[in-house]
Structure 1
């Protein structure tokens, strides 16, 4: 099968891109190579770009997406990108959620601009759950409508990463667009993996990290948390037998007095190491992060799309270019939401 050429925007350290191309091992399972190749990758964070370029043969360019000259992009068949989500996050209360009125929330228009001009066969966009309700529910229909007016049949679905073998309760909205109706009719979102194939925090915790004093919280921090834990629900200790709560970009500044997931060793509280965080996000141990500071590693990891979840999405997309679906014994997932003009009325 000829490889589908992919252009990647807002690529970060490469979680989405790794999932698309496949060819990696995670927790003893091989995620085979998919018939996709990244031919163009852009991110405005030089540290994420450094991590990316340590791990991929194709190289990421440090660039603001608003500075992309569309005519200079190479030929590509699919556009992917997790456009900046801070503006749409439910947890982003300071400043209040601004959605598409915020400059960062406007960056998806750059994705639309490229789609309008280049008309690739597919696109995949990723964002946080909060995008569905941002701006009193007005932001998301506007975004979908822009994608549709660019010439695409668009579907979206809220996926839970732990349903696909990622040891994390991370919910993300995955938007997929099709230039051709034939591809749309063939597509289905990935089926949930069997219960026996799902992963929990205990699968990724590293014993050596339980002896790293730099990861443990001070007695003062613990005492402060314990004083308010009952009424404020702080000190969110994760169970080894369940997927971890969602990890974020501020992992380096994890606090016991927040909603951040933490871990207990005996009667002591600790944060996750950067490698444990990468494992929680489903990055293979072979993925290199150590060319940047640990703070930068945490930020890049927390912002990433889990590669294993994205691998399953890419696997479903490649079925569009095959004549039939493969047999599967996975568990079916909820039906897809198809967007149409009637649903997209803003007022």
Structure 2
């Protein structure tokens, strides 16, 4: 078993994926040869969800307060470091990237890598990282990881090409201390078929009025839809558009994905959002409010996408 330390663990999407051993939409994702020896995040609600779902427990802690030398020895460092600074969506204020406090948090991963020198690391971030700071942020981040002693493969992966019913693009960086490991590794091949959104929906949500938009909200959207390109009704036969952490505040006047049920518009329930993100049905979120569920789910790495990356790594160890 290879030991894993998980920084910025959130509610556990990356961690569920790297452990494996779960069912999703009728497919079994095999248990992988990894165990988590330490996990931490600074969001108490995400930690509550995490600790409801794993036998090991994550610590509520700001990663900046972690002393690298006090961490348990590990073979893999995981980190979906905060991405708001790099997101293409986050244009107001303009993307500050690594000049912003949240954008600097990847340095905490670098600090741990320098101190602990694990065999591998896996970092994940939004597509906007590639273009942030006039395309200066990403090369700088790679350089920092390289200076910590790592050879790096990186790739922009679309979750919809790996069995997830969502068009979600994320950059994965996989670092290798040893060149032999770097030489052997290949990112997973995309799957031949896309999973349609309809398989992630919950018919029970159609019976609950709280998920439907009011007639007033619909009227307002219809008045301006022609010139605003809003009201993003999803095609149930295709993967869903990217879901985000602000699903709790989803608006018909925004670019968020919504459903049309008969003649009515509705938002996704938290369970549907979790399904779209590829969390297994037995992964529990309901110990926190709907708003906190949406936020944790929207910020997560899809477990099935992470499983494919982790499985590719498992093939070389």
State TM-score, norm by structure 2. Answer: 0.99
Aligned length: 317
The aligned residue for residue 74 of structure 2 is 76
Whether 2:280 is the aligned partner of 1:288: answer: no
The aligned residue for residue 312 of structure 1 is 308
After superposition, residues 62-211 of structure 1 pair within 5 angstroms as 62-195=60-193, 198-211=194-207
1-structure distance, mates of 2:69, 2:144: 21
Contact 1:49–1:60 (8 Å) recurs in 2: yes
Whether 2:260 is the aligned partner of 1:264: answer: yes
Unaligned stretches of 5+ in structure 2?
none
2-structure distance, mates of 1:133, 1:92: 13
Query: Residue 235 of structure 1 is aligned with which of 231, 256, 265?
Result: 231
Unaligned stretches of 5+ in structure 1?
322-347
2-structure distance, mates of 1:233, 1:105: 31
2-structure distance, mates of 1:287, 1:51: 9
> Which whole-Å deviations, capped at 9, do the CAs of 1:217-274 have from their partners, x for residues lacking one?
0011000000110111010000100000000000110000000000000110000000
Contact 1:186–1:319 (8 Å) recurs in 2: no
The CA deviation at 1:193 is: 1.6
State TM-score, norm by structure 1. Answer: 0.91
The CA deviation at 1:94 is: 1.3
The CA deviation at 1:109 is: 0.3
2-structure distance, mates of 1:298, 1:217: 17
Q: Which runs of 4+ in 1 moved over 4 A?
A: none
Q: For 2:85, what is the secondary structure of its paired residue?
A: helix
2-structure distance, mates of 1:251, 1:99: 23
Q: For 2:175, what is the secondary structure of its paired residue?
A: strand
Q: For 1:86, what is the secondary structure of its paired residue?
A: coil
The CA deviation at 1:15 is: 0.2
The CA deviation at 1:75 is: 1.1
2-structure distance, mates of 1:24, 1:89: 30
2-structure distance, mates of 1:186, 1:212: 51
2-structure distance, mates of 1:239, 1:70: 46
Q: For 1:74, what is the secondary structure of its paired residue?
A: coil
The CA deviation at 1:208 is: 1.2
2-structure distance, mates of 1:252, 1:57: 29
Q: For 2:225, what is the secondary structure of its paired residue?
A: helix
Query: Residue 251 of structure 2 is aligned with which of 249, 255, 268?
Result: 255
The CA deviation at 1:95 is: 1.3
Q: For 1:283, what is the secondary structure of its paired residue?
A: coil
Query: Residue 220 of structure 1 is aligned with which of 209, 216, 220?
Result: 216
1-structure distance, mates of 2:83, 2:200: 27
2-structure distance, mates of 1:248, 1:119: 33
Contact 1:167–1:280 (8 Å) recurs in 2: yes
Whether 2:36 is the aligned partner of 1:38: answer: yes
